[in-house]
Amino acid sequence: MPFHNQQILPAVRKMKDLEKLISSSYEYLVLLDSHVSQLKSIVDLAKAHHKKMLLHADLIEGLKNDEYAAEFLCQMIGPAGLISTRANVIIKTKQNGLLAIQRLFLLDTNALEKSYTLLERTKPDYIEVLPGVMPHIIREVHERTGISIFAGGLIRTVQDVENAVAAGATAVTTSRSELWKHYAP
């Protein structure tokens, strides 16, 4: 089942991309690269257009990626959720009642096994698996954890999206605008 009827979670890096998506039918958007001074206005703009922003906490310039930053983001900026590789950020996000998405870079078997231990501790709402072009790993992580998966990273084609979804991904995060257009709800 897709994430809130979205098979694609558009991930934006530039304001011009956000401006395009503001008038789209997508409800949830992901903000990748940003600066702390821009966050409130970006999230407020999204809310004014009935969009829900997922902030990538690790990619915010001018803000340390720790539990204090997560508290600030949750309480002062007010996104729909946070994405992070950091356990303390995920835990603090959950404590604040926002969507907590644990991002995992699965480079090898050791990273995968360490990730399972981390997930037992953080119990995120969703897991973002990177790279997202490994259907068998998406399936394994979902089966082993029971947590819904977002596939991200190196997703370049419609076939990549279809493979990830067929393997059990709830949604695919991508910064490729051609895929946003193809899958627009």
Q: In this predicted model, what pLDDT tens digit does every residue of 67-97 receive, in sequence order?
A: 999 999 999 999 999 999 999 999 999 999 9
Residue 148, SS3 per DSSP: strand
Q: Is residue 61 part of a domain?
A: yes
Q: Is residue 19 part of a domain?
A: yes
**Residue 95: both structure tokens together:** 């404590």
Domain count, the chain: 1
* Chain position carrying tokens 């953080």: 122
Q: Is 80 exceeded by the pLDDT of residue 37?
A: yes
* Chain position carrying tokens 């990748």: 32
Q: Is residue 68 part of a domain?
A: yes
Q: Is residue 121 part of a domain?
A: yes
* Chain position carrying tokens 């096994």: 113
Euclidean distance between CA atoms 164 and 42, whole angstroms: 29
How many C-beta atoms surround the C-beta of residue 81 within 10 A?
A: 24
Q: Is residue 3 part of a domain?
A: no
Confidence bin at 1 (pLDDT 50/70/90): confident
Give 102-136 pLDDT, tens digit per residue: 999 999 999 999 999 999 999 999 999 999 999 99
Q: What is the largest CA-CA distance in the chain?
A: 44
* Chain position carrying tokens 């949830």: 28
Q: Is residue 65 part of a domain?
A: yes
Residue 157 sits in a domain whose CATH number is: 3.20.20.70
Residue 88 sits in which domain range? 8-179
Q: Is residue 14 part of a domain?
A: yes
Q: Is residue 43 part of a domain?
A: yes
Among 138, 87, 146, smallest CA distance to 114 is for: 87
Compute the radius of gyration of the chain from its Cα atoms.
Answer: 15
Give 12-21 pLDDT, tens digit per residue: 999 999 999 9
